[in-house]
Chain A
Amino acid sequence: MSYPTNLRIVKVPCTGRVAAIHLLRAIEKGADGVFIAGCMEGDCHYQEGNLRAKKRVTYIRGLLESIGVDRERVAMYNLSAGMGPRFAEIAQEMTDKIRQLGPLVKSTNAGKEVVA
């Protein structure tokens, strides 16, 4: 099992900890795409952290679109801690998508991604 090396993982205790600003900051600091890998819906140890994260992702996607940035640069995935191969699959899928979209700002390092 392997996943793209351009991925930078930011660990959080629960995806409910990921605020809207964290997604934007990642992009602002040079990531060309960000995805949140949360627990399966209904399986959140903190009841609804992943559902809150989902709402924030939806909000940020809308905000990005309104300022001329492709909404696909931010995404939410749900998988359990035991689904390693699925994580690798998602990481590859997101990387491919971002590569297709190209770098957000031409002068910065292309292909960087952040996952929370």
Chain B
Amino acid sequence: MIMAKPKKAEEIISRVKDFSRVLVAGCKGCVAICEAGGQKEVEVLASAMRIHFSQIGKRIEIDEVSLSRQCDKEYLQELADSIDSYDAVISLACGAGVQFLTEMYGEKPVFPGVDTCFIGVTEEQGVWSERCQACGNCMLGETGGICPITRCSKRMLNGPCGGSENGKCEISLLVGRDVACGWHLIYERLKKLGELERFRRPSEDKDWTASRDGGPRQIIRKDVRP
């Protein structure tokens, strides 16, 4: 799922301090799972904002809503009747949701309430880590189900590099935590699968046009279009 982390309340407050009616819109999708932009986070942010503005004697009305998703028009449509009564919207959805809301209600200022970070997994409660960079050309079938594009800090197609030591990537020192060497993980995994032969042939050149090199991406599937 898409992982995000909450922006600082003071940053959000500074964006909307000059409006009179503000809507805090959460998303019950990915950002709810990673506890950044779901209903609970909407309630906390909206309440904190109300406390702040009432303390400084400013009258700003702050309402709350949480949509099933902000990346689908039918759910954003739920705001159609009420959005005109607000001067601005703070969206706690991922970057995709914030932009789709902006596209749908073009005349309304929309501000992000979270920083969208990556596609990842919940390792344990409160720990999320990256697993996919959406490169558009998945090679997990060749690397034992471990992604070198995501797990290798250099995105090397043939590794490990000289910076791998005892299974750790050389950036561990820089970032201050142990980062597993992606290619070491791939080696260990292929060893378990009895597929170490894979290391005898280099990876094929990767088609990066499926990634960001091809500009903003789009999928059009005639088979599922109405």
Contact across chains for B52 and A63 when beta carbons are under 8 A apart: no
- A91 smallest CB distance to B (angstroms): 23
- Which A66-116 residues have a C-beta within 8 angstroms of B? 66-69, 104-106
**B44 contacts A24, C-beta separation under 8 Å:** yes
Give the one of A20, A21, A105 with max B CB within 10 A. Answer: A21
Report the nearest A residue to B12, measured CB to CB. Answer: A67
Which residues of B sit under 8 angstroms from A45, Cβ to Cβ?
none
CB of A11 within 8 Å of the partner chain = no
Given A67, A104, A105, A106, which contacts B48 in the complex, CB threshold below 8 Å? A67
A-chain residues with CB within 8 Å of residue B8 when the two chains form the complex:
66
> Is B43 positioned at the interface, with any CB of A under 8 Å from its CB?
yes
Does A28 reach chain B (CB closer than 8 Å)?
yes
Q: Measured between C-beta atoms, what is the minimum distance from B220 to chain A in Å?
A: 42
Interface centre among A21, A66, A67, by most chain B C-beta atoms within 10 angstroms, is A67
A53: which B residues are within 8 A, CB to CB?
none
Q: Mark A19-30, 1 if CB is under 8 A from B, else 0.
A: 111001101100
Q: Are A24 and B47 in contact (CB under 8 A)?
A: yes
Interface residues on A, range: 10 to 19
Q: For residue B50, which residue of chain A has the nearest CB?
A: A28
State whether B43 touches A21 (Cβ < 8 A): yes
Residue-by-residue, is A31-66 near B (CB-CB < 8 Å gives 1, otherwise 0)?
000000000000000000000000000000001101
Residues of A within 8 A of B47 (CB): 21, 24-25, 28
- With A and B bound together, what is the CA distance between A24 and B49 in angstroms? 10
Query: Any chain A CB within 8 A of the CB of B54?
Result: yes
Q: Is B55 an interface residue (CB 8 A)?
A: yes
Q: Within 8 Å CB of B123, what residues of A?
A: none
Determine if B191 is an interface residue (Cβ-Cβ < 8 Å). Answer: no
Q: How many angstroms between the C-alpha atoms of A20 and B9 in the bound complex? A: 15
- State whether A69 touches B52 (Cβ < 8 A): yes
| Contact flags B61-77 to A (C-beta < 8 A → 1, else 0) | 00000000000000000
The verdict on A66 contacting B10 (CB below 8 Å), with A20-B44, A21-B47 known, is yes
Are the CB atoms of B51 and A67 closer together than 8 Å?
A: yes
Q: A21-B47, A24-B47 are in contact. Are A105 and B40 (CB under 8 A)?
A: no
Query: Complex formed: what's the CA distance from A19 to B43 in Å?
Result: 11
Let me know if A63 and B54 touch, CB within 8 A. no
Complex A-B: 5 CB contacts under 8 Å = A19-B40, A28-B54, A63-B48, A67-B48, A68-B55
- Interface set of A (CB-CB < 8 Å, partner B): 19-21, 24-25, 27-28, 63-64, 66-69, 104-106
Residues of B within 8 A of A (CB): 8-10, 13, 40, 43-44, 47-52, 54-57
